[in-house]
Amino acid sequence: MKNFVIEHSPLKKKLNAGELSIGSWLTIPSQSVVEILGSAGFEWLVIDLEHAPIGIESVVNLIGHIQGNGMQALVRVSQNEEVVIKRVLDAGADGIIVPMIKNKDEAQRAVNFVKYPPEGKRGVGLNRAQKYGTEFKKYKKWVDKEVVIVAQIEHIEAVDNLEEILAVNGIDGIIVGPYDLSASMGYPGEYDRIEVQKALNRVDTITKNLKKPLGFHVIESDHNKTLEKINKGYTFLAFSIDFFFLGDMARKEMENLKNKLQ
């Protein structure tokens, strides 16, 4: 279990310094999947509560497996809602990604749900994060300095309001969700379309001008796609998804085998 007195979040440090950090997305609630991804060298994993069939009961175990395999555990919560945010944090998550943030009020609401008074409005509960009631004061200090809060930018309204979102104290960075962003513009999944690319370029420009961490969820399991984002200055990158790493390799090698059998 984490010692909140001496531990400093490597991800928080990299976000503050504008350094590259690469993680991935966890949708299969399995210890084995966590261990396999850990062996690949990812720095963090995002447990997806928004779209994956993962219940809150599984979160504490997944967080423990992720941290036990040398990675940091982030949770994309199901929505910008008080109870789910404090439950995953009380379970020991290193930070959260909040979906569908569209404006500064929603960004501030997320921060309030993470931070204890007087900085925020989070209710006090005792669980794994607080070492089951033995180290609440130490955990509170850790939250003040080390917890990671990322706003997911996945709607055209968020692009229009990006400067004010990034100005909210407590937001450590953003991560672009290309599928929903394209959908909000009427082109679901067509994130290579010129209109969507223009919106993405606006995100790039605004974020870089404000010297804030720029994140993106690269859906494809092709490392070249992630390299493209690195070369464009993205520093907080989620590289693909567990089922794409599994499925893409299986489909590719089966196709190769079938071709050689013809």
CA dihedral 111, 117, 119, 124 (to 10 degrees): -40
Question: Is 155 considered catalytic here?
Answer: no
Kindly list the distances between the CA atom of residue 88 and the CA atoms of 28, 73, 92, 128, 154, in Å, as whole numbers in the listed order: 17, 10, 7, 10, 22
Helix (H, G, I), strand (E, B) or coil at 23: strand
Q: Which of 116, 113, 58, 120 is nearest to 86 (CA)?
A: 113
Instruction: Give dist(CA 223, CA 239) in Å, integer.
Output: 8
Judge residue 205's burial from the number of C-beta atoms within 10 Å of its C-beta, 0-12 exposed, 13-18 middle, 19 or more buried.
exposed
Question: How many C-alpha atoms does 198 have within 13 Å on its Cβ side?
Answer: 5
Q: What are phi and psi of 254, to 5 degrees?
A: -65, -40
Instruction: Give dist(CA 156, CA 97) in Å, integer.
Output: 18
DSSP tag of 128? G
> At 126, which amino acid appears?
L
Kindly list the distances between the CA atom of residue 257 and the CA atoms of 164, 222, 243, 248, in Å, as whole numbers in the listed order: 52, 20, 21, 14
Q: Which of 97, 257, 59, 72 is nearest to 176 (CA)?
A: 97
**What token pair was written down for 190?**
């067509």
Which residue out of 51, 65, 217, 223 is catalytically annotated? 51
Catalytic residues: 51
